[in-house]
Structure 1
Amino acid sequence: MDVIALIGRIVFTAIFIGAGIGHLTATEAMSGYAASKKLPQPKLMVRLSGALILVASVMLVLGVWPDLAALGLVLFLLLTAFLFHDFWTQTDPAAKQNEQLQFLKDLSLAGAALLIFAVYAADPHPGLNLVGPLF
C-alpha cells in the first residue's frame, strides 16, 4: 500500500506542479488575468500562489509534512474557486458554464486534498514519507 499511496500523491500533484511552474514562468500573462479579477498586486500574487502550490506539491510527493502540504493546496484551491471562478456573476451562458465547471473542479480537488489531510491525521505513516505529518 505504501507504493500505491506514493503513486496517488504523485498523480494528485501533477496538475499543481505544472500550474506552479506556469505561475512562475508565465507570470506576466497570468497576472493580467488576476488583474481582471481585481486581485491586488496581481504579479506578486501570481508568484506567491505559484510558489505555494509548487512547494506544497513537492512536499506532498516527498512526504515532508504531507498534512501541511495538503492544507496549503486546500487554501489555494478554495481561494481560486471563489475569487477566480465566480460563475454566479457571469451573464453569458457559455462563460457561466465554463466558470462553474472550473469552480466545481477546484472544489473537488480541495475535497481530495482535505481527504489526504485526514488520512495523514489518522495514520501518520501511510505511503513512503521522508518526514511524518506536522499536526
Structure 2
Amino acid sequence: MTRPVDSGIIFIARIALAVLFLWSGVMKLLGYAGFVGYLHSKGVPFVQIAAPIATAVEALGGLLLVVGFKVRPLALIMAVYTVATAVLGHDFWNVVDPALQRDMVIHFWKNIGIAGGFLLLFVTGAGRMSVDGARTPRSGLGL
C-alpha cells in the first residue's frame, strides 16, 4: 500500500462486507430453529453441523472483519462460504416460478460478487486501520 487513502477505503470495504454478515449471523441466532428448518427444506446435508458453522462464520466472521483480525485467511474462508451459500441457498436452476427464479438469479450473482470482494480483501489485506495493520512492523522509509 503506497497511498494513505488506501487503508481508509479498505476499512470502508471491510465494514460494508461485515454489516451484511453480522446482521445475518445475529438473525440466525435469534431465529435459530427457523434457520435449521430452512436448511432442511433446501436439502442441506448435515444440518446439525452446518447450522452452527454457518451462524459462527457469519457472526464471528463479521466481527473479525470489523476489527481487521487475520483478514487474509478470513477473506478466503468467507469467499468459499459465500459461494457455497450461493449454490445451496440460491439454486435458481431448480426454480420454476419465473419471478422467484429471477430473484434467485440476482441473489446468486450478488453472492458471487461478494465473494469477489473477499478475494480482493485477501489480496490487499486488512489495511493499516485494523488489528492486522497495527501488528505489522513499519519501515522508516514510508514503504
- What is the TM-score with the length of structure 2 in the denominator? 0.81
% identical equivalent positions: 28
Q: Which stretch has the larger CA shift, 78-87 or 49-58?
A: 49-58
Larger-Rg structure: 2
Query: Structure 1 unaligned runs (5+)?
Result: none
Using the TM superposition, give the Cα deviation of residue 20 of structure 1 relative to its aligned residue in structure 2, in angstroms.
0.8
Tell me which of 11, 23, 31 is aligned to 1:26. 31
Partner residue in 2 for 1:81: 86
Secondary structure, in 3 states, of the residue corresponding to 1:131?
A: helix
Partner residue in 1 for 2:141: none
Superposed CA RMSD: 1.8
Secondary structure, in 3 states, of the residue corresponding to 2:131?
A: coil
| Alpha-carbon distance in 2 for matches of 1:33, 1:94 | 20
Q: Which has the higher contact order (CA 8 A, sep 6+)?
A: 2
| Alpha-carbon distance in 2 for matches of 1:44, 1:28 | 14
- Listed one character per residue, the Cα deviations across residues 98-122 of structure 1 (whole Å, up to 9, x for unaligned) are 11111011111011111111112xx
Q: When the two structures are aligned, how many residues end up with a matched partner?
A: 129
| Alpha-carbon distance in 2 for matches of 1:4, 1:77 | 22
Partner residue in 2 for 1:3: 8
Q: Which stretch has the larger CA shift, 98-107 or 43-52?
A: 43-52
- What is the TM-score with the length of structure 1 in the denominator? 0.85
- Contact conserved, 1:6 with 1:128, CA < 8 A, in 2? yes
Partner residue in 2 for 1:115: 120
